[in-house]
Structure 1
Amino acid sequence: MTMHGNTAGTPVPPRPHHWPPADETAFPPPPRPLRPVKGLATAVLALLGLDTLAGGALAVVSDPLATAAEIVGESAVPLLSNSTLLFVLTLSRYLVRFCLIVVFLVWLVRARLNAETLTRVPHRWFKIFIVIGWVLPVVGWWIPKQIVDDIWAASRPGGVRGESIGRQRHSWLVWAWWIAWLLAFWVVPLSSVALRSLAGRPPEEVGALVGFGLDPFTWVPTLLAAALLALVVVRITRFQETRAR
């Protein structure tokens, strides 16, 4: 006697069960450990201090008060000399500034990698803009700030709120640093060149004064931008170090 084509008493083998495909997004891979940034941040702060000291020493040796006097048409001693001291200070400042730029960019790249680990929300700019964003015409006036804004938003306690990192509430500290940076490296130098040119200063001397950082009107916003950048680096580093624990 048969039952459904099988001999009575013979067990029917179970049919294979087809499970639905797994949803990979339901089981995300574990996040990467955050890369250490404290050492790089310390190096950035040290180089900012050295750059500030070198610029201050260079301004003192170059007699910045004479620069201000010449702007209003008063006679003053020549600012630029070929003395060994001035040459050494100028060379030292450029070397320190170069090291500062390199170390800061390395810190910024690492902070960006950590920020990408801390949030699934994509950042507004590709990593390559961390470097080239500073030198691009026109757009370089806002790309670096947006990169730092995104890192700040992803690193702060609570992280990114919502689905758009660009719509986060921006830090007043980042805003203050960026405004000071624009003043120090764009607005004030260009205004100084224009004023000195109107006062009859030779173009080559005007360019040297501004390029060497011997202009007291440029020195003030530069000092402010350095102090605010140090605070930004410290805050982002603390955010990431805290969330890495």
Structure 2
Amino acid sequence: MRPLTLTGQSAAGALWLAGLAWVVRAVWDIRLAVAGEPASGPPDRGNGVHRPLNGLENSYHIVTSLGGGVAFLCALLFLSWLWRVRDNARALSGQVPKYAGIWVYLGWIVPIANLWFPRGIVADAYRTTVPGRKLPVCVNVWWGLWLVGMAGGVGIVYRDSTDEIIARAYHGVWPLLFSDAVVIGAAVAGAFVVRAVTAAQVERIRQGQGVSAGLVGAGTEG
């Protein structure tokens, strides 16, 4: 059995932090839209030509870089948590996990598999930990928002460069705000997923410890 409480708190905290980072990003998207594109035109002129950035555009680069760092940290902590809950579910249930361990990592990047494997690992860990208990709604909300982000090419990983995103904010900010909302929603729902699965496993572990203590006590009395 692997310690889980601190790992779960760290993963949930990182998800909340990622959500906050994208709130800040949305604020900067709005600031760019309100400011309007400078008379000098978009930052990216094409063919590798870029004009000097103004102060607001420079600050947007800083905001997106910090958000990327938070997203990377969040991914590391979430994967560490996911590996632990998978291992703990196996120890608690005595059942072989539905998904091999390698899919904890590859499940996010292998085409087709990335449409359901990560959710499947979370759901399998929860269901084997507390058999018969209904899967929390937050799991499907989290995964649904994640898929929306993947399908639209938005969310944590943008296909455009930061300068191209700045130009998009000047000319049509609503799609960017929608993608920001998707990331924020997925991060918040993900934090609730981590809390729900962690709580279920901690509960089972404590129940097991209580049973073991009772058996030891009965043996001593005998």
TM (norm. structure 1) is 0.64
Output the aligned Cα RMSD.
3.1
Structure 1 residue corresponding to 2:30, chosen from 63, 70, 73: 63
Match of 1:216 in 2: 177
Q: Which has the higher contact order (CA 8 A, sep 6+)?
A: 2
Whether 2:88 is the aligned partner of 1:128: answer no
- Quote the offset at 1:66 in angstroms: 2.7
TM (norm. structure 2) is 0.70
- Quote the offset at 1:62 in angstroms: 3.0
Q: Which has the larger radius of gyration?
A: 1
What count of residue pairs does the alignment treat as equivalent? Answer: 182
CA deviation string 1:106-132 (max 9, x = no partner): 010011110000113322210000011
Match of 2:112 in 1: 138
- Quote the offset at 1:53 in angstroms: 1.9
Match of 1:205 in 2: 164
Distance in 1, matches of 2:10 and 2:151, equals 26
Distance in 1, matches of 2:199 and 2:126, equals 11
- Counterparts of residues 184-203 of structure 1 (less than 5 Å): 184-187=149-152, 189=154
Whether 2:14 is the aligned partner of 1:47: answer yes
- Quote the offset at 1:65 in angstroms: 7.7
- Determine if contact 1:185/1:222 at 8 Å carries over to the other structure: no
Single out whichever of 131-140 and 171-180 deviates more from structure 2.
171-180
Residue ranges of structure 1 left out of the alignment (5+ in a row): 1-33, 68-74, 162-167, 194-203
Match of 1:14 in 2: none
Match of 1:113 in 2: 87
Match of 1:28 in 2: none
Structure 1 residue corresponding to 2:145, chosen from 163, 175, 180: 180
Distance in 2, matches of 1:39 and 1:220, equals 28
- Determine if contact 1:64/1:216 at 8 Å carries over to the other structure: no
The percentage of counterpart residues that share the same residue type is: 28
- Determine if contact 2:83/2:104 at 8 Å carries over to the other structure: yes
Match of 1:240 in 2: 201
- Determine if contact 1:133/1:140 at 8 Å carries over to the other structure: yes
- Determine if contact 1:188/1:217 at 8 Å carries over to the other structure: no
Letter of the 1:77 counterpart: E
Match of 1:150 in 2: 124
Residue ranges of structure 2 left out of the alignment (5+ in a row): 44-52, 170-174, 207-222
- Quote the offset at 1:171 in angstroms: 4.1
Distance in 2, matches of 1:82 and 1:98, equals 27
Single out whichever of 230-239 and 119-128 deviates more from structure 2.
119-128
- Determine if contact 2:25/2:180 at 8 Å carries over to the other structure: no
Q: Secondary structure at the match of 1:62?
A: helix
